[in-house]
Amino acid sequence: LSTLHTNDAPGAITRLRAALDVAPDLHLARFTLARAYGRTGDRVGAAREAAELLRRLPPTAPQRPEVQRLLDAVR
């Protein structure tokens, strides 16, 4: 996750994808992946990951509004 803070979004994407391949319900990793895609200009990738995160989050999860804002911003 720290690679996103050092402006290495492509490196972050690679590591986050690998983490999600092993554990697809790492919600923070998926949110960070959506943000990393957004930083690289890949709005489709960002929207895909944000939508997938919304699908995986419980209906009462407090993170849902923030994820929805991200999704709305990249659509």
Please tell me the predicted confidence (pLDDT) of residue 5. Answer: 59
More confident residue, 61 or 5: 61
Q: State the pTM of this model.
A: 0.88
Question: Is pLDDT of 66 > 60?
Answer: yes
List CB contacts of 42: < 8 A, sequence separation 6 or more.
none
Helices (H), 1-75: 2-5, 9-22, 27-39, 43-56, 64-74
Give which of 23, 70, 64 is closest to 49, Cα–Cα.
Answer: 70
